[in-house]
Amino acid sequence: MTVPTVPTTMDIHQILEYLPHRYPILLVDRVLDVVPNERITALKNVSMNEPFFPGHYPHHPVMPGVLIIEAMAQTAAILSFKSMGGKPDDKSVYYFAGIDGARFKRPVSPGDQLIIEVSIIVCKRGVWKFAAQAKVDGQIAAEAELMCTVRKLED
């Protein structure tokens, strides 16, 4: 008999233990649900105070697609570390290994809540592959398959 996995949430203080990112590149505000070895759902509150909005675009602010992908990757990193049962350290770094099938379906604007859903497709020889979606009001804003890996830094 297997024991069911209980989903857990994470606040910003717990997120900071799992991600080395800090302002202005930290793009996950809260984890709503994480089931190690399966899936994670996270939240990014998109504010007009984001440092990229004055230049992208001043007359019609839109969150850059590359930052939406980065938010999905950060969410995937949390899922990886939770699944491995550890936290990152100063001797390792979490890298993108690939991005496939990235599609952008709607703009993300100030005031939006970006709900990020990531699930594990496979993990082989330390390379993780994820299916990721970012949604606003239930509509897909972006989606991609992400490949990531943890690498040890040389002394």
CB atoms within 10 A of CB 134: 28
56 is catalytic: yes
Question: Per-residue confidence of the chain (155 residues) as pLDDT tens digits?
Answer: 555 556 699 999 999 999 999 999 999 999 999 999 999 999 999 999 999 999 999 899 999 999 999 999 999 999 999 999 989 888 888 899 999 999 999 999 999 999 999 999 999 999 999 999 999 999 999 999 999 998 888 86
Catalytic entry in 13, 21, 56, 60: 56
Sheet of strand 92-104: strand arrangement: 8-10, 30-35, 39-45, 113-124, 127-136, 139-152, 92-104
**Spatial separation of the C-alpha atoms in residues 20 and 45, rounded to whole Å:** 19
Indicate the CATH number for domain 8-152: 3.10.129.10
Smallest CA-to-CA distance from 132 within 88, 94, 83, 80 is with 80
